[in-house]
Amino acid sequence: MNTTTTTKQPVSQQAIEMRDNKSVGEVAVLERPRLPFHPAIEQRFGITIGDWKTLVEAIFPSAKSPNAVILALNYCRSRKLDIFKRPVHIVPMWQKAIKRPDGSWTKGQYVETVWPSIAELRTTAFRTGQYAGNDEIEFGPDVILTFTLTNEEQGEYGEITTKEKEITITYPEWGKMVVYRLLKNGTIGKFVGPKLHWMEACARTKGNQPNDMWLKRPHDQFEKVVEAAALRRAFPEEMGNDLTAEEMEGRDIDSDTPYAANSQTAERQTRSSSPTAPSPAAVTIDEEDPPPEEAIQTTAKPQQQERPHVIDGDDTPPPPDPEEFEQVAWLQGVEAHFKALAQDPNITFEQMMGDQKTKINDLAHVPEDAKKVGRRIAARWATAKFEALSKG
């Protein structure tokens, strides 16, 4: 006769708690994702509703629309990247008013765009099998800058409150990095990245001030931008002009062209109202400063008053036809304006550089070749202003 002996195992405290818990046996219910999910997303990308919830709430928590996340999915699929490793970022960029084919105008708006992160550029470099590392970033001298940070807050009843606080940051004036690549002949090539300036590279708020991340991590954020530029120089056929999210954040889609990271001779455009200490590096210079008589051609039409150019919505008239633009009159006005600023002791260097944007860069009715000459004129007078400030 067979006898089976059963030994009673002690019940763990966790088991007791689970037994006493009234929710035992209930089915977990997944709440709806923050952004709507469509079955076609699963069919196309293999993304389940649970994956989608992770994407819109953890990977891209600031995304405003499903389209932006779908753009990121498309990018990652074409590049064979794991989107859950955050190889791309969704960056809202300001798009100015544009003219429709029927002649009407759209209002300016923020548009969600997708840009690779520095991690994506590193991945691309490693995939070539030729990436041989890089040197430690070389920073220029530190600059200590104190400025007033202005924030606007809207109250419960729509009232606007402006708050100001004084911020002091320490950032490197410039930075560059060397990247190494294994060449086909078996040697290691040395690629010196472009020398970038912090004030030109930092991401900006709508008020044209460095954003919170760059204020908190001025060296770390700048290093990502410098590394990206160096990687593009070493692997041009793999990356082209593949700018990163860190470089594009805070820029406009239409007119605010970022610095040309792949070109040593590219023009660097100073952003308006830059809270930077007076520095010749902050002046926009193309190649050489032409003498005044060369900057203004005397063969164009007679002077005319500058026309309206700002377009905020449908009620604003469109800008004049560029073909009707009076270049001589405009350049003479630029010359007179910046000369007066340079000679006015109450005008700061920063105000002069801010005027370069509003008086030159942002003018929709001014042709690019005229803007180029205008920036040279502004740079010449800004340099004169800097020299005067340096002399005390």
With bands split at pLDDT 50, 70 and 90, how would you rate the model's confidence at 12?
Answer: low
Look at residues 392, 295, 383, 290 and name the one whose alpha carbon lies nearest to residue 341: 383
Distance CA 90, CA 194 (A): 26
CB-based contacts of 129, cutoff 8 Å, min separation 6: 182
Look at residues 379, 369, 354 and name the one whose alpha carbon lies nearest to residue 288: 379
Look at residues 206, 243, 251 and name the one whose alpha carbon lies nearest to residue 225: 243
Q: Indicate the average pLDDT of the chain.
A: 74
CB-based contacts of 116, cutoff 8 Å, min separation 6: 75, 87, 88, 89, 242, 244, 245
pLDDT of 239 = 85
> Would you say residue 267 has pLDDT above 60?
no
**pTM of this structure:** 0.55
Distance CA 116, CA 338 (A): 39
Do 139 and 109 meet the contact criterion of CB atoms below 8 Å apart? Answer: no
CB-based burial, 13-42: b 16+ in 10 Å, e otherwise: eeeeeeeeeeeeeeeeeeeebebebeeebe
Look at residues 111, 113, 47, 112 and name the one whose alpha carbon lies nearest to residue 83: 47
With bands split at pLDDT 50, 70 and 90, how would you rate the model's confidence at 141?
Answer: very high
pLDDT of 104 = 79
| Three-state secondary structure call for residue 114 | strand
Per mean pLDDT, which range of 97-106, 170-179, 232-241 is the poorest?
A: 97-106
pLDDT of 22 = 53
Look at residues 174, 184, 191 and name the one whose alpha carbon lies nearest to residue 236: 191
Per mean pLDDT, which range of 111-115, 206-210, 252-256, 278-282 is the poorest?
A: 278-282
pLDDT of 207 = 66
With bands split at pLDDT 50, 70 and 90, how would you rate the model's confidence at 20?
Answer: low
Strands, DSSP E only, in 158-197? Answer: 160-172, 174-176, 178-182, 188-192, 196-197
**Cβ count near 392 (within 10 Å):** 4
With bands split at pLDDT 50, 70 and 90, how would you rate the model's confidence at 110?
Answer: confident
With bands split at pLDDT 50, 70 and 90, how would you rate the model's confidence at 342?
Answer: confident
pLDDT of 27 = 60
pLDDT of 17 = 53
**Residue range 142-200, pLDDT digits in tens:** 999 887 777 666 665 556 666 777 888 899 999 999 999 999 889 999 999 999 999 88
Higher model confidence: residue 29 or residue 12?
29
With bands split at pLDDT 50, 70 and 90, how would you rate the model's confidence at 344?
Answer: confident
Residue located via tokens 């005319």: 304
> Would you say residue 278 has pLDDT above 60?
no
Q: Is the dihedral of CA 370, 371, 375, 381 positive or negative?
A: positive
Q: What are the sequence ranges of the domains in the chain? A: 33-115, 117-241, 292-390
Structure tokens that stand for 160 in this block: 């606007």
Residue % of the chain over a pLDDT of 90: 31
Higher model confidence: residue 183 or residue 203?
183
pLDDT of 189 = 93
> Would you say residue 255 has pLDDT above 60?
no
